[in-house]
Structure 1
Amino acid sequence: MKPRVLPLFTLVCAIGMLITSCNKLDLVPTNDLTADKVYTTAASYKQSLAKVYGAFALTGNASVGQPDIPVEIIKDEGNSDFLRLYWNLQELTTDEAVWSWQNDAGIQGLHEMTWSSINSIINGLYYRSFFQITLCNDFINQSSDDNLSKRGITGADADQVRRFKAEARFIRAYQYAVLMDIYGNPPLVTETTEIGGKDLPKQIARKDLFAYVESELKAIENDLAAPKANEYGRADRAASWALLSRIYLNAEVYTGTARYTDAITYCNKITAAGYTLHGNYRELTIADNHLNTDENIFTINYDGTNTQNFGGTTYLMHGPAHVPAEVSGSNGDWGGLRITQQFVNLFADKTGATDTRAQFYMSGQNLEVNDLYTSNDGYSSTKFRNKTRSGGPAPHQDVAKDFSDIDFPLFRLGETYLTYAEAVLRGGSGGSLTQALTYINQLRTRAYNGSVAGNITSSALTTDFILDERGRELWYEAIRRTDLIRFGKFTTAAYLWAWKGGVKNGAAVNSKYNLYPLPPTDLSANPNLRQNTGY
């Protein structure tokens, strides 16, 4: 059956009617499963919260316990996973990644920066983000004090549900931060938005969405668990601080006003909370990286048995071209992902013997990407490996070795150190160049296996160095596009890489590509929306 694409308004209305009782009509769903029967105890609220979190890692809607209403089910359902969609838009459009299969839906035109508004990956992320926002909105509504009182949930149980509510608000804020970064001016739908009738979701300006995300994160700060006090994989205060530090670092792009001092403030909160760098860089993205609670702040959790789909870190494990199965910990590669020579050349020693962050598979691969869609052109990644730190199999390895156990770090301390250093260099107060240099050299000492041979002096600590160091430290962690935009190097001629602009040696492109277009289906369904400039 041909996949259906639902505009946001239709999606919101349909899910809203199916998971909540209608505000204006006294109707009972035919399956007799109403909210008052689902939300009866703190334990049942926790089960529903698990569905909210599950939308990060699972594909489709039925897979997270919701009605079978597709969000953006692309030809390969694995491509409807949030992380695969987000990763593709953040990485395939940059120097860090190319994909071999140009006939895959939405691929052609991403790396070349020639995409249009009719692109299933661009549209898919939009709907996937709003799907999770819709789940969050419903959970937040069901967790209101009125509903808790009506359902007889009081005392410690009510306090627990309020914490769950704060976590749902964090996830919603995170997804709106994604939409703000990717699309700029999406519609805003919250728990108070009227569903149905003549009131369609209103579009929000990027700077106003920034203020909304900021206010939400500040409002829930004291309602979230203290840093490291929540269950692994669930949001705590440090997660909200990490998201705040990230949006403050990019505030000038989003709003026109720099907020580097605020970025430093929230980096300081994280470093004061007891996080430390994990000792071995190559253990950050392997099958037992759930043990890295020293550095991990917030992760999307994947499990080879219980979260099976061909997106997420399964994509990052299988995708790299020609990496042997015994290296990746899978049953073989897809011949897809490779890396441009410009990014690889950020490492003087590409073997990884010097800087362990260089995790490239080179055997049979050409350094130069002479043909964008030839799987041997460009080195491949071995960064995401489905093996434990002892070299053993993944803890929940499926028998066929199809799926990954690797958790994806949305936020970790390494990024915090880099954010702090950049914010200081850009003039933010509340930090120091001495501390910035210390943080950078701590990252480099770890990368160099405890050696100070890679440490730099203060004269080398420049913003351009920080961009390169962010590349070396955070590559394949879905941040590169955002970084290049902040540095003015994404669409301009200031930095060129292979096949940027569809040219072998790279070329500048129209600045409109700093934002992705809104889906035409939503524009036609909602006259309140206006397309981004140039599309």
Structure 2
Amino acid sequence: MKNIMKHLFLFVSAVTFMVACTDLVDEALDAESFERPSEAGESGDVAGALQGTYNQLNAFSDQAGVYALQEHPSDEMMGPTRGTDWSDFGIWRQLHLHSWDPSHEFVFTAWNILNTGQLRATQVIESSGATEAQRAEASFLRAYFIYNIVDLYGQVPIRLDIDDSEEIPTVISRSEATDKILSDLDYAIERLPRLATSNTGRATYEAAHFLRAKVYLNKAVFTAQNPEGPYTFESADMQEVISSVNEIRNSALSLSESYWDNFVPTNRTESREIIFARRNEPGNAVASVQNRYKMTLHYNQVPGSGGGWNGFTTVADFYNKWNDDADERRGKALPGFTDRHGLRVGFLQGQQFNAQGQPLTDRGGNPLIFTAEASLLYSNERAGIRVIKYPPDPDNLNDGLIGTDYVFFRYADAWLMQAEAYFRSNNVSEALGMVNGLRVARGAAPLTTLTEDLLLDERGFELYWEGWRRNDQIRFGKFLEAWQNKPASSPHVVLFPIPQRAMDTNPNFVQNAGY
């Protein structure tokens, strides 16, 4: 468990080091004075500026910032306070309870990460020395950063004169920003290369089509008169989803032989599904996946790696949706991993064991039994079902910098997006066939019928803890419901507030309703 203030300091320091550009200090993005990276247009260092834009993605692998906003408010994740551990001035509880406000630290952190990314991408696009290929990559990256801003905040600040650091950015609406994303993606798709046989960590034709499908799938949400809905899913938009996913299905991608091939340290070569990811190398993980297991594991698990931080759990309501023990996504002993460090993958419930099969204890000598019951305020070390999506590498436990690639876009998600588009186009039989094709590949029994609730459940089974759940719950109209330790929410929380520090420095913003 890391003290939150120490954690935030390290996070900001790490991002600053990784991008080697503008400091993320206590100012809102709109007030900062950005310079063109290395004066790329004049000096020709566009490649370095483009790499800096890619490096901005590294912050997504942290458990705070963007990831925290996408997962903690959903029904997949919860951050219990354990004694004095993980209290952190209530910052995690507020996310779970949907009680954040414009001063919430992660609301500001994510805002700066995303807006810094979209600004750097724009600097590359507008650099006089950029090639068409570099502009295509930067257009994809800008589309992805703006997509996340649109999803989380609904308003996007745009600097019309990129060279004027004193300019107060104009602010475009959610609908206008959606059109801008699609325009960037259309430009990128015409110019990006096809996906190679393994993850290159660069923008590709298939990655752009994946994001295009994601935008059209959510277009009803992004253009609704009220952010909380109701949403009208147009047939033409669903056809665009189907069309873009067909471009992905016509590539060399397919469902992986094993679900866990997508998340093991050798996922770059084992997975058949990676569309877009950050490449990590052993000992040089720029977007390390270690947070994904350390943030949930108990202190006494994974010897040699400094143990876990004993933090986050899944939500019992989400875990209880699973009803098929044969579904490998729920969890299993993973050969080459469980037999070497004792950890299963998936959901960890009940007594935990070491590599020798001996039962583990907590720091007080109590059996380390993970339970579904967990309190936001008063939990012990054992409360809460834990989740392992990326297993630790038994060959690299000492420094935690394992070489697992950090996945953003996966083929199975594209598959389910197309199934949803068929479903919303009233082609339920086609959607059911696709869902069952995925379920059978994962070892689960096929469904006999398909409803909206079952379709959302399937997305949860396949994509849990990958950063999509909040987005999915909003689109399916489930985000405001009550679940473990959370009452029903006010409709305004489907959008986060514009950070107060951004409001204070840009008069063009109008605070989102409810804040």
The two structures have a TM-score, normalised by structure 1, of 0.77
- Alignment correspondent of 2:290: 314
Q: 1:378 aligns with which of 360, 365, 384?
A: 384
1:357 and 2:326 matched:
no
Instruction: From the superposition, tell whether residues 177 and 17 of structure 1 become closer, same or farther in structure 2 (CA, over 3 Å).
Output: closer
1:15 and 2:34 matched:
yes
Q: 2:155 aligns with which of 166, 185, 194?
A: 185
2:389, 2:300 → 1: CA distance? 13
- Asked if 2 retains the 8 angstrom alpha-carbon contact of 1:297 and 1:413, the reply is yes
Q: Which 5+ residue runs of structure 1 have no aligned equivalent? A: 21-33, 59-79, 149-160, 501-506
2:299, 2:415 → 1: CA distance? 31
- Alignment correspondent of 2:268: 290
- AA aligned opposite 2:30: F
Alpha-carbon distance, 1:36 to partner:
3.8
Alpha-carbon distance, 1:433 to partner:
4.0
Instruction: From the superposition, tell whether residues 298 and 490 of structure 1 become closer, same or farther in structure 2 (CA, over 3 Å).
Output: same
1:480 and 2:466 matched:
no
- Alignment correspondent of 1:367: 372
1:111 and 2:96 matched:
yes
- Asked if 1 retains the 8 angstrom alpha-carbon contact of 2:71 and 2:467, the reply is yes
Instruction: From the superposition, tell whether residues 434 and 274 of structure 1 become closer, same or farther in structure 2 (CA, over 3 Å).
Output: farther
- AA aligned opposite 1:215: S
- Alignment correspondent of 1:279: 257
2:216, 2:243 → 1: CA distance? 10
Q: Which moved more, 1:161-170 or 1:356-365?
A: 356-365
2:370, 2:271 → 1: CA distance? 35
Instruction: From the superposition, tell whether residues 306 and 355 of structure 1 become closer, same or farther in structure 2 (CA, over 3 Å).
Output: closer
1:336, 1:5 → 2: CA distance? 27
Alpha-carbon distance, 1:338 to partner:
0.5
Aligned pairs (5 A) from 1:359-508: 359-362=346-349, 363=351, 364-372=369-377, 374=379, 375-387=381-393, 392-393=394-395, 397=396, 400-427=398-425, 432-448=427-443, 454-457=445-448, 460-491=449-480, 493=481, 496-500=482-486, 507-508=487-488
Q: Secondary structure at the match of 2:330?
A: coil
What CA deviation, in whole Å up to 9, does each residue of 1:33-68 have, x standing for no partner?
x8644x2xxxx543442222112115xxxxxxxxxx
Instruction: From the superposition, tell whether residues 248 and 319 of structure 1 become closer, same or farther in structure 2 (CA, over 3 Å).
Output: same
1:185, 1:465 → 2: CA distance? 32
Q: Which moved more, 1:362-371 or 1:352-361?
A: 352-361
1:205, 1:365 → 2: CA distance? 45
- AA aligned opposite 2:400: D
- Asked if 2 retains the 8 angstrom alpha-carbon contact of 1:230 and 1:236, the reply is no
1:245, 1:314 → 2: CA distance? 30
Instruction: From the superposition, tell whether residues 307 and 356 of structure 1 become closer, same or farther in structure 2 (CA, over 3 Å).
Output: closer
Aligned pairs (5 A) from 1:58-457: 84-100=64-80, 101-103=86-88, 106-142=91-127, 144=128, 147=129, 161-189=131-159, 192-193=161-162, 195-197=164-166, 199-228=167-196, 232-256=200-224, 258=233, 259-292=237-270, 294-307=272-285, 313-322=289-298, 325-326=301-302, 330-349=305-324, 354-358=327-331, 359-362=346-349, 363=351, 364-372=369-377, 374=379, 375-387=381-393, 392-393=394-395, 397=396, 400-427=398-425, 432-448=427-443, 454-457=445-448
Q: Secondary structure at the match of 1:277?
A: coil
1:274, 1:290 → 2: CA distance? 14
Alpha-carbon distance, 1:83 to partner:
6.7
Task: Give the aligned length.
Answer: 446
1:514, 1:421 → 2: CA distance? 24
Identity of aligned residues (%): 26
1:516, 1:383 → 2: CA distance? 27
- Asked if 2 retains the 8 angstrom alpha-carbon contact of 1:287 and 1:404, the reply is yes
Instruction: From the superposition, tell whether residues 164 and 135 of structure 1 become closer, same or farther in structure 2 (CA, over 3 Å).
Output: same
Alpha-carbon distance, 1:516 to partner:
0.3
Q: Secondary structure at the match of 2:65?
A: helix
Q: Secondary structure at the match of 1:409?
A: strand
What CA deviation, in whole Å up to 9, does each residue of 1:314-339 have, x standing for no partner?
21121113286449x94311000101
- AA aligned opposite 2:154: G
What CA deviation, in whole Å up to 9, does each residue of 1:230-276 have, x standing for no partner?
96111101111100111111111101353222111211121122310
Alpha-carbon distance, 1:402 to partner:
2.9
The two structures have a TM-score, normalised by structure 2, of 0.80
- Asked if 2 retains the 8 angstrom alpha-carbon contact of 1:347 and 1:355, the reply is no
Instruction: From the superposition, tell whether residues 376 and 333 of structure 1 become closer, same or farther in structure 2 (CA, over 3 Å).
Output: same
Alpha-carbon distance, 1:107 to partner:
2.3
1:373, 1:277 → 2: CA distance? 42
- AA aligned opposite 1:407: D
- Asked if 2 retains the 8 angstrom alpha-carbon contact of 1:318 and 1:330, the reply is no
- AA aligned opposite 2:35: G
1:278, 1:8 → 2: CA distance? 40
1:194, 1:133 → 2: CA distance? 15
Alpha-carbon distance, 1:281 to partner:
0.5
Alpha-carbon distance, 1:17 to partner:
5.9
- AA aligned opposite 2:431: A
- Alignment correspondent of 2:513: 533
- Asked if 1 retains the 8 angstrom alpha-carbon contact of 2:217 and 2:421, the reply is yes
What CA deviation, in whole Å up to 9, does each residue of 1:430-470 have, x standing for no partner?
xx54443332122112221xxxx61123xx11221110000
- Asked if 2 retains the 8 angstrom alpha-carbon contact of 1:186 and 1:518, the reply is no
- AA aligned opposite 2:96: H
- Asked if 2 retains the 8 angstrom alpha-carbon contact of 1:57 and 1:302, the reply is no
Q: Which 5+ residue runs of structure 2 have no aligned equivalent? A: 1-5, 13-24, 81-85, 225-231, 332-345, 352-368
Q: Secondary structure at the match of 2:284?
A: coil
- Asked if 2 retains the 8 angstrom alpha-carbon contact of 1:281 and 1:357, the reply is no
Aligned pairs (5 A) from 1:33-72: 36-37=42-43, 39=44, 45-57=46-58
2:489, 2:69 → 1: CA distance? 16
What CA deviation, in whole Å up to 9, does each residue of 1:335-367 have, x standing for no partner?
001011111111125xx6544334111221111
- Alignment correspondent of 1:76: none
What CA deviation, in whole Å up to 9, does each residue of 1:456-509 have, x standing for no partner?
23xx11221110000100000100001111111111x4xx21122xxxxxx211
RMSD: 2.6
Instruction: From the superposition, tell whether residues 8 and 354 of structure 1 become closer, same or farther in structure 2 (CA, over 3 Å).
Output: closer
Instruction: From the superposition, tell whether residues 47 and 196 of structure 1 become closer, same or farther in structure 2 (CA, over 3 Å).
Output: closer
What CA deviation, in whole Å up to 9, does each residue of 1:76-98 have, x standing for no partner?
xxxx8667422111111111111
